[in-house]
Amino acid sequence: MANPRILVVDDDRKIVDLIRLYLEKDGYRVLVAYDGRQALELAHQREPDLVVLDLMLPEVSGLDVCRTLRAETNVPIIMLTARTTEEDKLLGLDLGADDYVTKPFSPRELLARVRAVLRRAGEKDEEQPAEARVGELLVNFRRHQVKVGGRSVSATPTEFRLLETLIREPGRVFSRLELVARVYGPDYEGLERTVDEHVLNLRKKIESDPKKPNYILTVFGVGYKVNEEVHV
């Protein structure tokens, strides 16, 4: 990806100027916004390759900006937040953020996160097929669509990433730790039990009987897998 365009959103102009300085020195093209409404307008008009997004914004909150962008596009999002509790981080990641950086932060660390997220996004786009099907379950990765027997299923961004990870390699058993790393990123240090909660929610949406799952199977003592021998 040559000279990616990055949208930086923060109501603190000094932080925006600092981030822009480091990004432009590294060869990125930079767009800036100081409130959530302006961020959404720029994102729609200029289609950035990545968004660096503060949580606490005037007009429209960072969480609402993230929620809106993720419903419309696959653009990678790195959240900036002064909130450091696990619940706050999980909330942002559950809404579809690809990574988070807590304030105060090192500009060099943020730059490294930008490079890593863009690299992962590029690898995913270039190497992977557009969709996967197992039985009547169809997942379109580029459109962020899930269908079962032709019926559209509404999955949260986190649920979608979890299902995408599993269905790309049906039959492969993923440990909870692996799924946490795939869904939330390798630097996330949260609890593995969050995976169980998302699997439970996914089963309610895609299984005809969530208590006797046909698609997402539990491998006791290990983790989860997508059943490669679904009986339709």
Q: Answer whether 77's CB lies under 8 Å from 51's CB.
A: yes
Same domain assignment for residues 118 and 149: no
Digit-coded pLDDT (tens) for 22-74: 999 999 999 999 999 999 999 989 989 999 999 889 889 888 998 888 877 77
CATH number at residue 83: 3.40.50.2300
Weakest-pLDDT range from 5-19, 32-46, 142-156: 142-156
Sign of dihedral through CA atoms 159, 207, 218, 229? negative
Separation in Å, CA 110 to CA 88, 107, 122: 19, 5, 18
**Does the pLDDT of residue 186 top 70, yes or no?**
no
Same domain assignment for residues 31 and 44: yes
Same domain assignment for residues 87 and 135: no
The pLDDT value recorded for residue 70 is 82
Q: Is residue 232 part of a domain?
A: no
Digit-coded pLDDT (tens) for 95-120: 778 888 888 889 999 999 999 888 87
Q: Is residue 102 part of a domain?
A: yes
Same domain assignment for residues 72 and 139: no
Q: Is residue 164 part of a domain?
A: yes
Mean pLDDT within 70-96: 77
Weakest-pLDDT range from 94-98, 143-147, 171-175: 94-98
Task: Provide the pairing of β-strand 5-9 with 50-54.
Answer: parallel
Sign of dihedral through CA atoms 83, 90, 22, 50? negative
Q: Supply the range of the domain harboring residue 35.
A: 5-127
Same domain assignment for residues 32 and 106: yes
pTM: 0.63
Weakest-pLDDT range from 91-100, 136-145, 203-212: 91-100
Query: Which residue among 90, 111, 127 closes a domain?
Result: 127
Q: Is residue 231 part of a domain?
A: no
Same domain assignment for residues 88 and 147: no
Query: Which residue among 95, 127, 159 closes a domain?
Result: 127
For the chain, what is the domain count? 2
The pLDDT value recorded for residue 104 is 87
Digit-coded pLDDT (tens) for 216-226: 999 998 899 99
Q: Is residue 177 part of a domain?
A: yes
d(CA 7, CA 42): 8
Rg of the Cα trace of the chain?
18
Same domain assignment for residues 197 and 106: no
Q: Is residue 180 part of a domain?
A: yes
